[in-house]
Amino acid sequence: MNAHRWNAFFLPVAVLAGPTAYATDYLTVAQAQEQLFPGAQFGEQTLKFSGDQRDRIKAAAGVRQRNDEMKVWRAEKNGKLQGWLMVDEVIGKHEFITYATAIGADGKVLGIEIMSYRETHGGQVREPSWRKQFVGKSVSDPFKLDQDIQNISGATLSCRNVMDGVKRLLVIQQMFLKA
Amino acid sequence: MEAVRRMRPALGTFVEAGASASAGLPALDAAFASLALAQQRWSFQDPASELSRINGSDGGWVAVHGDTVRLMRLARSLMLASGGYFDFTVGGAQIRRGSLPDHGGLPALERGSAQDVELRSGAIRLRRPVRLVLDGIAKGFAVDLACRAMRRGGATSGWINAGGDIRVFGDIELPLALRGEDGGIRPCGVLRNAAFASSRVSAARDDSFPADIIGPIGLAPQQGVWSVLARSAWRADALTKVAAIAPDDMRGALLARLGGQLA
């Protein structure tokens, strides 16, 4: 493979413009509800945790419950409990993530969806004027993704914080949400 | 044209799958199901994975899925072709360093050779008690399979980004950004019908960035973020390890010979 051939597949960027933050929104709460419990009806409730309850959550889950409130949606279909949808956040060293977890009536995880993903090094993020340099250059006029759809490579981030968060949500479901 | 995309935790990282909206969610679900299978089969950490069954075997044939045999064949070929710069037999050394768990079994050699891995249809046998580790290639291979699953699910174009192991297919140009050693992000180009992967080598271990690369004897990986462009994600993934270890004066030529390009 020589460099010439590769240029058709990978176009490096030279120009850098002003800083902006990197963030992607995948799902709204309503979209997460529909995806994780299709066709269900939802009842919203807010769990409030006392200091003592947060200590118990931490003791059982091994991770701290940061907030003293959590929104939960109870999912039902034809009056029958399907499970709960919980929306939670984790803050990592490099990322800020809002995610939805669906827990079934049997207490098992049905699905996890990242709702929004933000890199926290916003001040260092630089974005070029992507579009300009590609105008008229494509052979078959491929589908151009929006600027905010850029994908990040580089050091691989561990998703352990979200998996720990899900463990915490399972503890909360067992302690506070009854079938 | 609209795109549909989702991000879920998978393969120990955050994985984004995207496809042309016409293919819809079923194509993305097929991709994530394929990634979950890859995790089940090739995780070193999971004592029940096919990889752990191979590593825990006593020299007999171990029945595995056809994709596992294909992956092992690719790993073995690349180990030979790269003269050991890519090495998937260093699990024993990594257990000793504490970067991988010890699931027991015969006392492990620190590292082995490509000849230690014997393959036949649907089965694998270890000629010596090495511990195979697929960290440097399985994520990329899983991305390739997930793209195949999306195509079979009706997506004519799409992409997977598994924590930086990226593959794009069809009529899409995917803008890329690179996270540097300092965590800062800079754009680095657009990708089309190709794969891109990065590995970060840091002086100190960091739980946010789980990577541990071991070089051939006498060679240590060089600090930095190593990014490689290739046709397929397994190759891009594996060649980042080669890039990290190869001496400066031969890196470019070695990667080109192995089907990659330093990005």
**Which residues of chain B does A163 touch, with a Cβ-Cβ cutoff of 8 Å?**
9
Q: Would the CB atoms of B229 and A117 count as touching at under 8 Å?
A: no
pLDDT score, position B263: 83
CB contact under 8 A, B185 and A159: no
How far, in Å, CA of A22 to CA of A118, rounded?
6
Determine, for residues B166 and A153 on separate chains, whether the beta-carbon distance falls below 8 Å. yes
- Residues in chain A, pLDDT under 50: 1-8, 14-21, 122-148
Instruction: Calculate how close chain B gets to A105, using CA atoms only, in Å.
Output: 22
Shortest Cα distance, chain A CAs vs residue B137, angstroms: 14
Q: Which residues of A touch B189 (CB under 8 A)?
A: 10-13
DSSP state of B49: S
Residues 108 through 167 of chain B touching chain A, CB cutoff 8 Å:
157, 159, 161, 163-166
Residues of A with CB below 8 A from B175's CB? 130, 145, 147, 149-151
Calculate helix-pair angle for B138-152, B233-245, nearest 10 degrees.
Answer: 160
Query: DSSP for A126-178?
Result: B---TTGGGTTT-SS-PEEPPGGGPEEEESPPP-HHHHHHHHHHHHHHHHH--
- Locus of tokens 């036949």: B120
CA-CA-CA-CA torsion sign (B85, B86, B88, B90): positive
Kindly report, residue by residue over B27-39, the tens digit of the pLDDT: 999 999 999 999 9
- B24 close to A (CB below 8 A): no
- pLDDT attached to residue A134: 31
A13: closest chain B residue by CA: B189
CA geometry: angle at B208 spanning B204 and B212, to 5°? Answer: 50
Question: Which residues are B107's β-sheet partners?
Answer: none
pLDDT at position B207 over 80? no
Q: Which range (A13-27, B12-26, B48-62, B72-86) has the least confidence?
A: A13-27
Contacts of B95 (CB under 8 A, 6+ apart): B101, B102, B108, B131
The continuous run of DSSP H or E covering B78 comes out as: helix B66-81
Gap between the Cα atoms of A158 and A173, Å rounded: 25
Q: Which residues of B touch A6 (CB under 8 A)?
A: 194, 229, 261
Q: Tell me if chain A has a CB within 8 Å of the CB of B99.
A: no
Q: Which DSSP symbol is given to A19?
A: B
Q: Do A159 and B174 touch (CB under 8 A)?
A: no
CA-based torsion, A166, A171, A173, A179: positive or negative = positive
B172-179 and A143-144 beta bridge pairing: parallel
Question: ipTM of the predicted structure?
Answer: 0.84
pTM: 0.86
**Contact call for B193 and A9, based on CB within 8 A:** yes
> Tokens 């300092």 sit at which residue?
B182
pLDDT one-digit tens code per residue, B142-154? 999 999 999 999 9
In B157-251, at which residue ranges do the beta strands (DSSP E only) sit?
Answer: 158-162, 165-169, 172-179, 185-191, 194-201, 224-230
Q: What integer pLDDT is reported at residue A10 of this predicted model?
A: 61
pLDDT for res A8: 41
